[in-house]
Chain A
Amino acid sequence: MADYLLLLLGMGLVTYVPRWLPLHYLSRRSLPEWFIQWLDLIPPAILSALLLPALTLDGDTGHLDLLRPELWVALPTFGFAWWTRSLGGTVVVGMLLFWLAGKVSPMWFAWL
């Protein structure tokens, strides 16, 4: 247990300090305008860079797969988020649609 607590302390430090340091130092300093513009674009860039590969690449093989339910469920989920701006609602709707997508068999669309 002592070893484990030491491990948690270490994990706590390396996950907390990098979050706290920039917040602490940058919040009381005036930054150049281009840097503020750059920082303003980082959140949409990171979120999109995290999301799009997760939606379009197969988790096991890493190959491009545009037929994944993750990608198709994302479209109505994006729409729901855009119109409602509700985080809680989007999470619930996304989970529900993904669960439903898992129930739908591709064979149902064989007649198409």
Chain B
Amino acid sequence: MIPTSFAVRSTTLKEGLNAGWPICLGYLPIGMAFGVLAQKAGLTPLQIGLMSIMVFAGSAQFIAVAMLAGGIGGRFIPEGALGIDYALIAMFICLLIYQIRKLIHLLTAVMAGLTAVILALIIPGNTHIVIASIAAATVGVMIQRKVMRRNPDNG
């Protein structure tokens, strides 16, 4: 170990904390909603905490609790006060904004969103998300490559 490694590690840790805290904040209400629901479903606090530590997912935990509670399948979206329902949506809005770095990202996002809405009206389930994303990204790459071939300077 070189002597500077501790300082380097400490700044890396700080950068990680800086980048990570808003996501923790965004998940706080969802975590609380999950805790309330899981306890209502009959899980002990220890069981609830263990699931959150061992399972690397959000929605999968809600589905698991819904299934453990007896009703297999079916949507299980918690109703919350103080705009809790909007926490995840607001987080996704900001994450989407972060992703819009060039015009092609905006174009792809618009195509994916509109396609997803249309598909969701036609096909049941959640497959519309995957189909719309893959289709929009593919069309996006095709547009990008066509534009780049025409004028390679401003790709």
Contacts and interface: CB of A to CB of B under 8 A. Distances in A.
A104 interface: no
A47 interface: yes
Contacts of B87: 91, 94-95
A87 B78 CA distance: 22
B51 A49 contact: no
A67 interface: no
Contacts of A7: 64
Contact of A52 (B22, B94, B108, B117): B117
Interface band, chain B: 35 or more
Nearest to B113: A52
Given A50-B129, A98-B83, A44 B105 contact: yes
Contacts of B12: none
Contact of B85 (A5, A42, A98): A98
B137 A34 contact: no
Interface band, chain A: 35 or more
Contacts of B90: 77, 90-91, 93-95, 98
A28 B118 CA distance: 38
A62 B51 CA distance: 31
Contacts of A54: 89
Interface in B9-34: 21-23, 25-26, 29
A77 B22 CA distance: 15
Contact of A47 (B85, B99, B106, B145): B99
Interface in A23-37: 34, 37
A4 B138 CA distance: 42
Contacts of B37: none
A13 B145 CA distance: 38
Contact of B121 (A9, A38, A59, A64): A64
B144 to A, nearest CB: 6
Interface in B42-100: 47, 50-51, 54-57, 60-61, 64, 75, 77, 81-87, 89-100
In the A-B complex, the 7 residue pairs with the smallest Cβ-Cβ separation, listed nearest first, are A94-B90, A52-B113, A87-B22, A95-B83, A99-B83, A98-B86, A49-B116
Interface of B: 21-23, 25-26, 29, 47, 50-51, 54-57, 60-61, 64, 75, 77, 81-87, 89-100, 104-106, 108-117, 120-121, 128-130, 132-134, 136-138, 140-141, 144-145
